[in-house]
């Protein structure tokens, strides 16, 4: 009896296994880059230390002075992990939900809301100090996000277009408010200008703990919503046929993105382009699967932010270039690439 030979068509049963294998290898590579970025973050700074010193500190065999220097970099490394994850995952969700490849956390007024919260607390409540502003930046960012959602969902019409317009309007109003207060109160501007640039330094673990619940809830929501977010790419009718609720999925996805980006912005200030550049890099690697995008973004975002922070420490050593400035320089080419991809796709 002649055995039957079964041929698998291209993109058939073997395709999912190949994609999964590819994702695993890219995830391993991203984790390796993240590990190196974390090691660099605790090794390099204004005071010279070596990789060997950092390893000795981790082993508990380092000199006390060296240990104090290296351990002082732990909070900024942890904040880099949280902020990079929050911004990258939020950008991934927002680009998928709004179908706008240029979407980032600023689209929902998050940055402007956090800025307004900081300025209001400093001007009218006398709040000062890098670590105290987080208690006002976080609710300011969340309130701005809620306001954009309410305005964008009110009435009838194209929901996504209304949402983008609502974000633009709320951002413009809050930005004007911030400028009016800071120009009228020089002392407020002196305090605000250090926060608005975006930096990982000058903060401790208390800042991380204060925003961790919001970031954790946003990440859990993003992971749970990932399968439903995948169906949105098929169109609303197909998504409904598969048992998903497009409207509810979009709303919950935007809530998750708001929580993640608000926590990141409140903790370290506005940092541009991480939420824009990382999703494009990830999509080029793993394709349209939102589940894979979220997982890889959660690793690649912190790695890129920490590497940018290390670069800012080294380029002007012993002075420091804030990470928000570094990411702006890096992100400008990413924005250009994104725009070119949009034009080539039309």
Sort residue 57 into left (φ over 0), alpha (ψ -120 to 50) or beta.
alpha
Rg (CA), the chain: 22
Rounded Cα distance between 109 and 39, Å, is 34
pLDDT digits (tens, 9 = 90+) for 240-275: 766 677 778 888 988 899 899 989 988 898 898 898
Burial of 296 (0-12, 13-18, 19+ CB in 10 A): buried
Residue located via tokens 């220097």: 69
Question: Per CATH, which fold does 30-345 belong to?
Answer: ABC transporter involved in vitamin B12 uptake, BtuC (1.10.3470)
Name the residue among 230, 292, 220 with its Cα closest to residue 25.
292
pLDDT digits (tens, 9 = 90+) for 111-156: 899 889 989 988 888 876 665 677 788 888 889 888 888 887 765 5
Domain layout of the chain by residue ranges: 30-345
Q: Cite the beta strand spans of the chain per DSSP E.
A: none
The more confidently predicted of residues 95 and 86 is 86
pLDDT digits (tens, 9 = 90+) for 201-235: 888 888 899 899 999 999 999 999 988 888 877 66
Element at 86 (helix H, strand E): helix 74-98
Largest CA distance in the chain: 92
Rounded Cα distance between 273 and 291, Å, is 21
* Helices marked H in 44-73: 51-59, 64-71
Whether residue 5 is predicted with pLDDT greater than 50 in this model: the reply is: no
pLDDT digits (tens, 9 = 90+) for 7-17: 444 445 556 67
pLDDT computed for residue 301 by the predictor:
94
């Amino acid at each position: 009896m002649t055995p039957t030979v079964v041929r698998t068509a291209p993109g058939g049963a073997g395709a999912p296994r190949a994609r999964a294998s590819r994702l695993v290898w890219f995830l391993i590579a991203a984790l390796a880059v993240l590990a190196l970025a974390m090691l660099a973050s605790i090794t390099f700074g204004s005071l010279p230390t070596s990789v060997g010193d950092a390893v000795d500190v981790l082993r508990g065999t380092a000199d006390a002075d060296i240990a104090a220097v290296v351990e002082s970099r732990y909070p900024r490394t942890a904040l880099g992990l949280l902020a990079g994850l929050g911004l990258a995952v939020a950008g991934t969700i927002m680009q998928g939900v709004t179908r706008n490849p240029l979407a980032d956390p600023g689209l929902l007024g998050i940055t402007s809301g956090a800025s307004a919260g900081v300025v209001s607390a400093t001007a009218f409540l006398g709040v000062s100090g890098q670590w105290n502003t987080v208690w006002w930046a976080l609710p300011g960012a969340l309130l701005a996000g809620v306001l954009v959602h309410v305005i964008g969902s009110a009435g009838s019409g194209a929901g996504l277009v209304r949402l983008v317009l609502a974000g633009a309007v709320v951002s413009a109003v809050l930005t004007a408010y911030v400028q009016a207060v800071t120009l009228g109160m020089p002392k407020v501007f002196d305090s605000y200008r250090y926060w608005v640039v975006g930096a990982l330094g000058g903060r401790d673990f208390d800042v991380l703990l204060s925003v961790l619940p919001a970031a954790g809830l946003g990440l859990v929501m993003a992971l749970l919503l990932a399968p439903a977010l995948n169906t949105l790419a098929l169109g609303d009718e197909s998504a409904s046929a598969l048992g998903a609720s497009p409207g509810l999925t979009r709303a919950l996805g935007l809530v998750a993105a708001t929580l993640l980006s608000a926590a990141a912005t409140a903790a370290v200030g506005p940092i541009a382009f991480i939420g824009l550049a990382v999703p494009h890099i990830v999509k080029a690697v793993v394709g349209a699967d939102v589940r894979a995008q979220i997982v890889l973004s959660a690793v690649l975002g912190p790695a890129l932010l920490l590497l940018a922070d290390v670069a800012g420490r080294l380029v002007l050593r012993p002075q420091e270039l804030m990470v928000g400035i570094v990411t702006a320089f890096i992100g400008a080419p990413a924005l250009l690439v994104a725009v070119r991809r949009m034009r080539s796709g039309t």
